[in-house]
Amino acid sequence: MLKNKKVILVFIDWYVPAYKAGGPIRSVYNIAKKFENEANFYIVSSIFDLGESTPLNGVKENTWTNLEHSKVIYLFSEHQNTKRYKEIINEIKPDTIYLNSLFSKKFTLLPLSVIRKVDAKKSIKVILAPRGMLGKGALAIKPFKKKLFLIYAKLNGLIKNVVWHASTVLEEEEIKDAFGVKSKVFVAENIAILPDNISTKTEKFYDEKLTVLFISRISLKKNLKFLAEALSFCKNKNLIRIKIVGAIEDNEYYNSCIAILDNAKIEWEYLGAKPQNELKEVYLSSSIFCLPTLHENYGHVIIEALSFGLPILISGFTPWGNLQVKGVGFDLNLDINLFSEKIDNFVEMSNQEFSVFSKNSIKYSKTILAKESVVAYNRKLFID
Q: What is the pLDDT of residues 50-84, one digit of tens each?
A: 999 999 999 999 999 999 899 999 999 999 999 99
Separation of first and last alpha carbons in the chain: 19
Q: Measured between alpha carbons, how far is 152 from 21 in angstroms, rounded to an integer?
A: 25
pTM, to two decimals: 0.89
Q: Measured between alpha carbons, how far is 241 from 159 in angstroms, rounded to an integer?
A: 46
* Residue of higher predicted confidence among 1 and 251: 251
Q: What is the pLDDT of residues 113-136, one digit of tens each?
A: 999 899 878 899 999 999 888 888
Handedness of CA 219, 225, 228, 230 (dihedral sign): negative
Q: In whole numbers, what is the pLDDT of the chain averaged over residues?
A: 93
Domains of the chain: 6-187 (3.40.50.2000), 205-369 (3.40.50.2000)
pLDDT, position 3: 53
CA-to-CA dists, residue 118 to 87, 192, 367, angstroms:
10, 34, 43
